[in-house]
Chain A
Amino acid sequence: MQTAATKTTMPVPPRRHMKEMVAFLQASPFLLPALLLFTVFFFYPIVKVVYLSLYLTNSKGVAKHFVGMQQYVELFTSPDFIQSLRVTLEFVLLTVIPGVFIALLLALLLEKQIRGLSVFQTILFSPISMSVAAVSTIGLMAFNPSVSLLNWILSNLFGIPNINWLNGPWTALLAISIVTIWMNLGFSTIVLLGALRNVSQELYDSARVDGVNALQRLYYITLPSISPTLFFVFVVSMIGSFQTFGQVNILTQGGPAGSTNLVVYSIYRNAFFNFQYGLASAQAVVLFLIVLVLTLLQFLVVERRVHYS
């Protein structure tokens, strides 16, 4: 037995090779459908995007003129693209942190069992069932400079002068952030609420026995217990914010003067408006790398603090 074992470890014996091969062959028919889908909808587009980013294209998206890395150089020397990146980061900060925070607050409130709660739950969750277009159209009405209900409320109840929301550089980004937070709030809240309801009651019970106050309860029991979900919501919101498009397209078209020109919108603009698929592809590659790095960072840094039971 022992001799056999030493024999098998050093040079890999042909029999184990065979075993692995057989296992692989057995597994591959099961993997094939998924692989095929991934190839068609994921790997092929990625390769194609990288390929197109090296070319100038005509209006039908056919690569016409090889330019190598020129479009990447152009991007990083273009003040427009730098602004676009900066605005996107600002937007992510403006939406993700307040969005998750508000969702957590609401979920904590909704977890309590009070009479008439279902009405509030319905109101909060209803944006989930609406499309980006509908939400943005409501935003368009709310922020309309001529007939804005929001401005009317602000000026009549709080004495804040009329704000030309969508035409000031900061207020436009703020307006889009508000719409985005509102739109995503229902989803984040419902996911967090689900997590809250799964926190073990025994932990709470024993905490009560130990005479723990509400804040301590929240900090030492609730938050650690829901941290995997909190982390999930955080990552998903961040990726979603990076990919924001519809709100910008309907509310501001990237204006005024590029102050809401988020990267994905500018990709759309270059690809389907200016028909520079090459440049748009280069932008897409850059965005992909940024999101990849940020997500990896989150997994490396934040996940350490996440508690999986």
Chain B
Amino acid sequence: MERNQNASRRPWIRKTAMWTVAASFGLTALLAGCGGGNTGSDENAAGGGGGANNGVIELKLWHAMGGVPGQALQHIVDDFNKSQSKIHVTAVYQGQYDDEFNKWKATQGQGGKDGPNIMQVYDIGTKFMIDSQDIVPMQDFIDQSHFDISQLEPNILGYYSVGGKLYSMPFNSSQPVLYYNKDMFKDAGIAEPPKTYDDVLADAKKLTKKGPDGKVAVYGIGLATYGWFFEQMLATQGADYVDHDNGRTGTATQAVFNGPEGLKIVNWWKSLYDAGVDLNLGPVTSQTQNAFLAGKCAMIIDSSGVYGNLVKGAKGKFEVGIGPLPRPAGATGGTIIGGGSLWITKDQPKAQQDAAWEFVKFAASPQEQAYWTETTGYFPITKAVYDDPGFKDWLKQYPDFQVAVDQLHSSKLTYATQGGLMGVFPQARQTVQDMLQAVLLGKQQPQPALDDAAKKVTDAIKNYNLTVA
């Protein structure tokens, strides 16, 4: 009896195992198929490394550019590799900015081996990178080879200069703008993108549509609770994020974003949400991009660097328009130039550092920057690009992008628009994002939420300063 049962039980085990293996293979293949659009080939999947091989210097470039920008960066790297035969750069996509930055922190001090030779870091990682002392200041290379930085965009230089020195080379520079669905605007009878907070609320109400079942089918705006937007909105009102002139005249010791300017932003945000015209999809902007492209919301705020992605995604569906970042009526500040810059790591032989500098120079050249802007929507870092005939033609073809360029050029360089400088900026941004969510979900009132967030950031700054000194 017992033996009989065992015998009858065994075949299913084998069958189950076979089916499981087959099913998981199928699933893996399916997922691999869905995961397309990743940059780089298989050989790029390896982590760090770099070194000399047959006289060719191998360099690893870590970056955080997915989608269209990722392909464009690969194109620049290929251009560089083709332009000469002594240096070979491999671009390695390491996930989004945060992920890439955290991987770097984990391999810090191993530049030549497991880490990158060249590292793209987001704007808010600047202070951390300098404090880490694991990088070679870009200024050293600039001075050595008498590289002319006067051709660089002054606002971009303003952000990345610390104590009159450039520690990294600006690469992908962007500002947040308002993207809108031109077709939906036309249907709603709105001629122009909204410029002030009140306009946004009024237009969003007009654009919000309910389906036959009474549920909202199209939201007026899809505002990601992304901390970067909050930082930018402070700057448009001329307000600082941290003390000591935004950390520009001394080490920041305290967060100050909980003033009346910060309150204005949060109140406005909440009013949109409470009116039922804001689609809240959390802090990740790819979510709002998808919703925008799927026609679920008529406006989004996002980086000018996603222009290429959006135009491509909306092709054949609707026309994408650009408006300036909305601000409270009467606010006279500017926007901060965000994005990323390229850093050269310290723990690698001098020959590799020099080779890395060659690539950095190449990526900053007007020719590559023109290509970069035309494909992605990131701003060119050198002014020379605006005189490039090819670029002028491109601007004629996409006149909306001029709005973004004007926004950049009309921003006066102040401590507010230079952007805050502190070692714990990624954490601060996260704290602000949580604060925004807490307010939208009604867990906290705007002013207490802001005060709490500011206190948390201040505590983090204090701890950081204690461990750096």
Contact = CB atoms under 8 A, between A and B. Distances in A.
Interface of A: 56-60, 64-65, 113, 117-119, 121-123, 125-126, 128-130, 134, 137, 144-147, 161-162, 164, 166-169, 197, 201, 252-253, 255-258, 269, 272-276
A182 to B, nearest CB: 14
B280 A167 contact: yes
B132 interface: yes
Contacts of A276: 460, 463
A274 B427 contact: yes
Contacts of A118: 12, 15-16, 19
A94 to B, nearest CB: 19
B467 A164 contact: no
Nearest to A63: B467
A54 to B, nearest CB: 14
Contacts of A168: 441
A130 B430 CA distance: 30
B191 interface: no
Interface centre among B437, B460, B463 (most CB of A within 10 A): B463
Nearest to B102: A272
B318 interface: no
A272 B430 CA distance: 13
A232 to B, nearest CB: 21
B463 A257 contact: no
Given A113-B8, A146-B287, A273-B426, A64 B19 contact: no
Given A58-B468, A64-B467, A256-B440, 10 more contacts: A64-B466, A118-B16, A122-B16, A126-B20, A145-B291, A167-B281, A252-B282, A255-B283, A256-B280, A272-B105
A197 B424 CA distance: 56
B275 interface: no
B467 A56 contact: yes
Contact of A65 (B21, B105, B466): B466
A162 to B, nearest CB: 7
Given A65-B467, A121-B12, A255-B283, A272 B427 contact: no
B281 A130 contact: no
Contacts of A166: 282
Nearest to A274: B427
A253 B290 CA distance: 19
B27 interface: yes
Contacts of A125: 16, 20
B31 interface: yes
5 contacts: A130-B27, A164-B280, A167-B281, A273-B102, A275-B105
A253 B424 CA distance: 18
A167 B437 CA distance: 9
A220 B427 CA distance: 56
Interface in B259-303: 279-284, 287, 290-291, 294, 296
A121 B16 contact: yes
Contacts of B284: 253
A169 B424 contact: no
Contacts of B98: 273
B20 A161 contact: no
B141 interface: no
Interface centre among A117, A125, A167 (most CB of B within 10 A): A167
A256 B468 contact: no
Contacts of B424: 274
A118 B55 CA distance: 59
A166 B225 CA distance: 14
B181 to A, nearest CB: 14
Contacts, number: 121
A57 B31 CA distance: 40
Contacts of B287: 144-146
B109 interface: yes
Contacts of A147: 290, 294
Given A117-B12, A129-B24, A257 B215 contact: no
B5 interface: yes
A258 B441 CA distance: 11
Interface in B200-253: 213, 215, 225
Contacts of B395: none
B19 A119 contact: yes
Nearest to A128: B20
The 6 closest A-B pairs by CB, nearest first: A122-B19, A257-B437, A257-B438, A58-B467, A129-B24, A256-B437
A59 B128 contact: yes
Interface centre among A123, A130, A252, A257 (most CB of B within 10 A): A257
A296 B83 CA distance: 67
Interface string B363-389: 000000000000000000000000000
B433 A255 contact: yes
Nearest to A55: B467
A134 B34 CA distance: 12
A257 B108 CA distance: 31
A257 B441 CA distance: 8
Interface string B450-469: 00000000001001001110
Contacts of A197: 9
B7 interface: no
A273 B463 contact: no
A304 B63 CA distance: 56
Given A57-B467, A118-B12, A164-B281, A258 B434 contact: yes
Nearest to B452: A79
B188 interface: no
Interface in B1-48: 1-2, 5, 8-9, 12, 15-16, 19-21, 23-24, 27-28, 31
A56 B15 contact: no
B16 A256 contact: no
A57 to B, nearest CB: 6
Contacts of B132: 59
B272 to A, nearest CB: 15
Nearest to A121: B16
B23 A126 contact: yes
B27 A134 contact: yes
B458 to A, nearest CB: 14
B350 interface: no
Interface in B400-438: 424, 426-427, 430, 433-434, 437-438
Interface centre among B9, B131, B215, B287 (most CB of A within 10 A): B287
Nearest to B14: A118
Contacts of B15: 118, 122
Nearest to A134: B31
A258 B98 CA distance: 18
Contacts of B434: 255, 257-258
B106 interface: yes
A252 B284 CA distance: 10
Given A59-B132, A118-B12, A257-B441, A273 B291 contact: no
